[in-house]
Amino acid sequence: MNDTDKAAADLARTAEAIRAGDRVDLGRAITLVESAKPEDQVRAQELLEVLLPFTGKAIRIGISGVPGAGKSTLIDQLGVNLLAEGHKVAVLAVDPTSSRTGGSILGDKTRMSRLAAEPHAFIRPSPAGASLGGVTKTTRETIAVAEAAGFDIVLVETVGVGQSEIAVSDMVDVFVVIAIPGAGDELQGIKRGLLELADIIAVNKADDDNIERAHRAATEYRTALHILAAGHAGWSPVVLTLSARDNRGLDALWDKIEERHASLRDSGVLAERRADQATSWMREIFEQRLLAAFKGGRRAARHYQELEDKVRAGELTPAAAAEELGRLVGLKEPE
């Protein structure tokens, strides 16, 4: 058997193991997908092509919210509840990366201790790095691999530190924002843009002395959403209160997620949305590779670094630098 046949056989074996639920091969596949090495990227794309027919059957849910909102606690409890109903749950938890050290917390398996111990659950913490939107550059691929492994529910927990959340909303079916009561003016702690992306707003920590404040916060969100919805035909997000700590209100949350997903599926919007997401994924990959190829050339890399230094020093505007880079590769002005 030559090297090409051996590589093909190894690829087929890995794909079959992933479909059979082998957690070791699943973890290795995601590590391969996350790798920045060119040879690993080639192998990852070959694997994804083999797995592609077995993807797309899961409910994809994005979960965001300000730090301290209790996202991990909620996911842990919701995941345990869903496992009890016979589901297989994958959690892609993106950790914030330190801008100084490059290190990430990667503590989600500790914060989701019960879910991490379950055989039908899979938690994958990944550093966000410099990517925007609180998701990694390879989150889409990781979702696909998890779906091929038979997980019918994929939860994507985002960093939730004020970056644009458009990225995660562009790769999930239902987007849930976790809010908390009693943090001053609740509406100041969450951006309008995030509200407009939300399918469901869940006010967490509605327990003990917080119950009244949680209901008051929920009322404020409903009022704000009613005003925002005036310019959005067919957009009617749900607001509810719950306590992840006490496992109260999570059944209602899941009912609303299923209801939203079924509505999208039955109307044909889900298929259309996923098709749009796939083409967006293609453009994103192309842009990343185009930049990587550009910076990979010795002359281009030198010019890129020189222009970046000038922008950093305030000697050149970002637009002027981008235009000069465009001229370097022969880009023409749009007519």
Helix, strand or coil for residue 5? helix
The conformational region for residue 113 under phi > 0 = left, psi -120 to 50 = alpha, else beta, is alpha
Write down the pLDDT at residue 154. 97
- Would the pLDDT of 291 be above 90? no
Candidate from 104-118, 121-135, 242-256 with smallest mean pLDDT: 121-135
Averaged over 11-25, what is the pLDDT? 93
- Would the pLDDT of 177 be above 60? yes
97 DSSP assignment: B
- Would the pLDDT of 105 be above 50? no
Write down the pLDDT at residue 62. 93
Q: Among 130-134, 143-147, 228-232, which range has the highest average pLDDT?
A: 143-147
Write down the pLDDT at residue 161. 52
Averaged over 208-224, what is the pLDDT? 88
Q: Residue 57 has which token pair?
A: 């059957």
Averaged over 94-123, what is the pLDDT? 66
Write down the pLDDT at residue 101. 36
Which of the pair, 166 or 30, is modelled with greater confidence?
30
Distances (CA, A) of 215 to 71, 203, 221, 252: 19, 8, 10, 15
User: For the domain 1-54, what is the CATH code?
Assistant: 1.20.5.170
Helix, strand, coil in percent for the chain, rounding step 5: 55, 15, 30
Domain locations in the chain? 1-54, 55-266, 278-328
Q: Residue 178 has which token pair?
A: 């976790």
- Whether the predicted model's global pTM rises above the 0.75 cut: yes
Pick the CATH number of 55-266 from 3.40.50.10860, 3.40.50.300, 3.30.470.20, 3.30.1490.100: 3.40.50.300
Residue closest to 57 by CA, chosen among 270, 269, 252: 270
289-292: long-range contacts at Cβ-Cβ below 8 A with a sequence spacing of 24 or more?
Answer: none
Averaged over 94-114, what is the pLDDT? 54
Q: Which residue has the tokens 């994809």?
A: 60
Which of the pair, 128 or 303, is modelled with greater confidence?
303
Q: Residue 171 has which token pair?
A: 């790769």
Cα–Cα distance measured from residue 107 to residue 95, given in angstroms and rounded to the nearest whole number = 8
Write down the pLDDT at residue 147. 96
Q: Which residue has the tokens 């020093």?
A: 313
For residues 162 and 130, the answer to whether their CB atoms sit within 8 Å is no
